[in-house]
Copies of this chain bind each other. A is one copy, B any other.
């Protein structure tokens, strides 16, 4: 796959500058880009690095001083994303088209219009999968699962009975949807299991990263809102509710019955105690531990997490403890000396 820069300009409807019209064979980050590559530079600092780059072309902002052949747009990253889409492998190359003969599809399942069902897929009774969806090798869809349109389910995913997946969802390899919530109460002879009879609902355009787990509700639903993106190895416990367009980074753990708003951003390895609420647009710094609710729009950090400027101040003061102890000791000495003087 290759394009003249002028073709990219036309396909993307983005103006071009420079006299050459190089052949673009790949897209690459600024530090790796070489001959035949197109790259991008968003900031002044990165634009300066461009001078030394052997990239064949670049995407920059309209005013940027740049001698490379260039596409020029106010949002170079967005244009670069569209170029990456042009170079991305065709989905038929990722999910082989057709229903593989080794797949075990129950006679009551409805899979008309599904584009790909890979080898060794298991589709249980009363499962419904909508048009344009692709299902990789070794996926297990248990009894009564419903999958929307144009969804992609990568290899080795399990969706347990009764769960509902929307349109344009992406589940990465090894994801588990609808595993039992972790619910027990003390009994006479040990912990008594609380049956988990609810389901999981993933709304449209949700993405769940490799080996992440979303537990089914005890009763009712664990629900993840439209457009929300979840990274790898994340744990979403039973009865959690997450709004739309929220982003949760790798290895976060969301305890039972938490309510997370829309447009929330969470760094990696964050932990949330159960029954907490995060308001819309809240931002949680990586590795924070949440022990109380967070208001809409607030940014928090630390464990227990507090408002981020306060958290940074506490860290800075903690780093000054050696100085602090010294000063206190000097004060004590001075006071002792005075006492002796007086």
Contact A232 B220 (CB under 8 A): no
From B94, B195, B220, contact of A161 by CB (8 A):
B94
Judge whether A88 is part of the interface by a CB distance below 8 angstroms. yes
Is B84's CB under 8 angstroms from A184's CB?
no
Please give the count of copies of this chain that the complex contains.
Answer: 3
Inside 8 A of A118's CB, which chain B residues have their CB? 122
Number of contact residues on A: which range applies? 35 or more
Contact with B along A267-296 (1 / 0, CB 8 A): 111010100000000000011010000000
Closest B residue to A143 by CB, please name it.
B93
Report if A120 contacts B (CB, 8 A): yes
Q: Mark A209-247, 1 if CB is under 8 A from B, else 0.
A: 111010100111000001101011101010100001101
* A293 CA / B226 CA spacing, docked (Å): 36
Taken together as a complex, chains A and B put the C-alpha atoms of A89 and B195 apart, in Å, by 10
Q: Give bound CA distance, A211 to B287, whole Å.
A: 21
The reply to whether B192 and A81 form a contact with Cβ atoms under 8 Å apart is: yes
Q: Can you list 14 residue pairs at the A/B interface with Cβ under 8 Å?
A: A28-B220, A81-B193, A140-B173, A156-B156, A172-B180, A179-B209, A189-B227, A210-B213, A211-B211, A250-B253, A286-B289, A306-B319, A314-B322, A317-B325
User: Are B197's CB and A245's CB within 8 A?
Assistant: no
Which of B81, B96, B226, B231 is close to A195, meaning CB atoms less than 8 Å apart?
B81
Contact of A84 among B124, B197, B207, B273 (CB under 8 A): B197
> Which residue of chain B lies nearest to A26 when distances are taken between CB atoms in the complex?
B219
Cβ-based interface call for A255 (8 A)? yes
Q: How far is the CA of A244 from the CA of B119 in the complex (A)?
A: 36
Given A185-B78, A195-B81, A195-B85, residue A156 in contact with residue B154 (CB < 8 A): no
A120 to B103, CA, bound (A): 10
Contact with B along A145-165 (1 / 0, CB 8 A): 000000000111010111000
